[in-house]
Structure 1
């Protein structure tokens, strides 16, 4: 994946579109139970980028946030429910955008697996 340029993404209904400036600090799969519940999947998959380079191009009024903990907020489209990002209140200079909302799909490496202690046993082996 090119380290310069931008990432582009949108929600399921197309109401929200965003762009994020590269480089990606790291990409991750988070297996915490909050990510599992929000995504309805084994993990939440994210690209960590600078918050200053994250721009909502369309549908800012459709984004709502949920404070899932005292240090984390999850942004999603209030129409279709697509998870768009996770951000830490302790590190406001960074934002983690969801890999599944990127167009074209993310082609960089996933360097981190977080909260592997709650990684579901039903996941297939690598």
Structure 2
């Protein structure tokens, strides 16, 4: 099962499920939260996410109504986000996973607000505004 940690190693977790394909989000909030052109997320069921260490370091910020972004209060690493409109689903930041990932990128989302300085050249599906209906992640 995949494991992961923040930059300082204070927050450590395990995912007790097969990872879903990576979703790249280009919205302006993800760019600001990540400090880069996009966020790389893999959705997992909340029941599959096991926090192994660092519960006291986990902080959150409500970036828009019903959306919480969780991060390490020591090093600032973004850990995951959750949305009230998708109960039971966490979007784990793929860059935190320790093991080599065997899943591929699924698509680019929110490309209508992507950074003008970052071209998308990979030929993957692009969704300009909203995501298509998401399937529930496997557990």
TM over 0.5: yes
Q: 1:31 deviation in Å?
A: 0.5
Match among 118, 125, 131 for residue 123 of structure 1: 118
CA distance in 1, matches of 2:120, 2:57: 38
**Runs ≥4 in structure 1, deviation > 2 angstroms?**
23-26
Check whether the contact 1:50–1:93 (CA below 8 A) recurs between aligned residues: yes
CA distance in 2, matches of 1:30, 1:91: 16
The two structures have a TM-score, normalised by structure 1, of 0.89
CA distance in 1, matches of 2:40, 2:3: 15
CA distance in 2, matches of 1:79, 1:57: 17
1:3 counterpart residue number: none
Check whether the contact 1:8–1:20 (CA below 8 A) recurs between aligned residues: yes
Q: 1:20 deviation in Å?
A: 1.2
Check whether the contact 1:21–1:49 (CA below 8 A) recurs between aligned residues: no
Check whether the contact 2:4–2:98 (CA below 8 A) recurs between aligned residues: yes
Which of 73-82 and 98-107 deviates more?
Answer: 98-107
1:100 counterpart residue number: 95
1:72 counterpart residue number: 67
The two structures have a TM-score, normalised by structure 2, of 0.82
CA distance in 2, matches of 1:12, 1:83: 9
* 1:91 has 2:86 as partner: yes
Instruction: Describe the superposition over 1:11-48 as per-residue Cα deviations: whole angstroms up to 9, x where unpaired.
Output: 00010000112233442010110000010000011010
Q: 1:89 deviation in Å?
A: 1.4
- Could you tell me which runs of 5 or more consecutive residues in structure 2 were left unpaired when the two chains were aligned: 122-139
Check whether the contact 1:21–1:50 (CA below 8 A) recurs between aligned residues: no
- Could you tell me which runs of 5 or more consecutive residues in structure 1 were left unpaired when the two chains were aligned: 1-5
Secondary structure of 1:68's counterpart equals strand
